[in-house]
Amino acid sequence: MTKKASGLVAVARLAGVSTATVSNVLNRPELVAPATRERVVAALDELDYVRSGAAVALRTGTSRLVGLVVPDITNPFYAAIAEGVTAAADDAGYSVALCVNHDDPARERRQFELLAQQRAAGALVVPLSAGSSRLSTLRRVGTHLVLVDRIAERDEGCSVAIDDVLGGRLAVRHLLALRGPRIALVNGPRTIEQCANRRAGARKELRRSGVDPDTMTELTVEEMTIDAGRRAGNALAAAGGVDGVFCTNDQLATGVIRGLADAGVRVPDDAAVVGYGDLALATDGPLPLTTVSQPKLLMGRTAVETLVREIGDQVDGGREHQHSATLFQPSLVVRDSAPAT
């Protein structure tokens, strides 16, 4: 079929030059005379030359591979991040090693170990639960880290996140304007940072509007699923006294709407519901859902760019690298035109 030869040496021989020259036309073409360069290029594709990433990695100590560590790739939120990451990585000439850990430390350890072995140039990690100690395996081999959807603490590294406090404020501001102060919050475990922040934003906005945050009805669910939301909706309907519900993700919001409907409370007529995330569910679900939209693709893209910049910094001067923490703003997407009272 195709030629079987491979390696710089074969190319060098065919072009009548040394391997060093071939290497140069590959990496720093400007250093080699146009004439020879042409001969080499000819030989290169005459032989169907394919660089050995392994050899390069061995020699240079780093590969063009970045790890993407997510809890669950079937979750559309993480899938969207992955989309942005792969796109940006493509542009930068990196491969993306997808590591799905299901929040399982054992799995995660093995994956980190593999990344370390491959001498990955870096890793983008989207942590579910916190715990920065887990990252040590990677650091050990000098892999650079970028935290995604979580603000890095001092010296933890770079991070790219979304301002969840602001998101919470936007949601509650909308509900306040639309329906007044009788607001409920349906939230996940507060040990999840995002949940804590969205709640903080909600309370902050209430306070700003002269409403005592403690008057807000709060329901906490273990799993942020549609089913859990439905139960919460049932409970809210039973208790009554609520005109607006802020749910900290779209699944919960979808469930809450159903749970309210079970009890005859109709959305948006009888109550307003706001979700969080702007997943496909918000448009494709039973009802167009008003929700806080996050720039997921952009976050993924930026994570890669941040990592690439960090790697560059390291290489080029040995100069001190300044960790950066990028924070994007969410925005409110109003989808149901709820008739105000």
Partner DNA sequence: TTGTATGCGTTATCAC
Partner DNA sequence: GTGATAACGCATACAA
Name 325's Cβ contacts closer than 8 Å, sequence gap at least 6. Answer: 151, 152, 158, 159, 160, 161
CA–CA separation, 69 and 145 (whole Å): 11
* 106 touches, from DNA, a copy of itself, none (C-beta below 5 to 8 Å by class): none
Contact stretch for DNA (CB under 7 A) within 58-66, 154-162, 189-197, 212-220: 58-66
Q: How far apart are CA 273 and CA 311, in angstroms?
A: 44
| 115 vs 184 by CB, closer to a copy of itself | 115
Q: Of these, 1, 2, 45, 59, which contacts DNA (CB under 7 A)?
A: 59
Contact partner at residue 79 from DNA, a copy of itself, none, CB < 5 to 8 Å by partner kind: a copy of itself
Binds 35: which of a copy of itself, DNA, none (CB < 5-8 Å by kind): DNA
- Closer residue to DNA in complex, CB, 37/144: 37
Please, what is the angle between helix 19-27 and helix 8-15, to 10°? Answer: 100
Of the candidate residues 13, 23, 134, 156, the single one contacting DNA (CB under 7 A): 23
Is 2 a residue that touches DNA (CB under 7 A)? no
**φ, ψ for residue 67 (rounded to 5)?**
-90, 140
Of 58, 98, 334, 340, the one binding DNA (CB under 7 A) is 58
Residue 9 binding partner per list DNA, a copy of itself, none, with a CB distance cut-off of 5 to 8 Å that depends on partner kind: DNA
For residue 8, state whether it binds DNA (rule: CB under 7 A): yes
Q: State which residue, 9 or 327, has the beta carbon closest to DNA.
A: 9
In this structure, are residues 93 and 124 in contact, taking their beta carbons and an 8 Å threshold? Answer: no
For residue 63, what are its two tokens?
């590969």
Alpha carbon of 243 to those of 108, 198, 281: distances in Å?
A: 43, 19, 23
Q: Which long-range contacts (CB under 8 A, 24 or more apart) does 20-26 make?
A: 26/51
* Nearest residue to 97 via CA among 64, 130, 141: 64
Cα radius of gyration rounded to whole Å, the chain: 26
3 binds DNA (CB under 7 A): no
Q: Please state the φ and ψ torsions of residue 199, each to the nearest 5 degrees.
A: -65, -45
Catalog residues that contact a copy of itself under the rule CB under 8 A: 1-2, 48, 50-55, 57-58, 63-65, 68, 72-74, 76, 79-80, 82-83, 86-87, 90, 93, 95-100, 107, 110-111, 113-119, 140-141, 226, 251, 254, 280-281, 284-287
* 139 versus 321: smaller Cβ distance to a copy of itself: 139
Token pair, residue 301, equals 């893209």
Rounded Cα distance between 290 and 205, Å, is: 18
Binding segment for DNA (CB under 7 A), chosen from 24-32, 198-206, 215-223, 275-283, is 24-32
Give the residues lining the site for DNA (CB under 7 A). 6-9, 16-21, 23-24, 26-27, 31-33, 35-37, 49-52, 55-56, 58-61
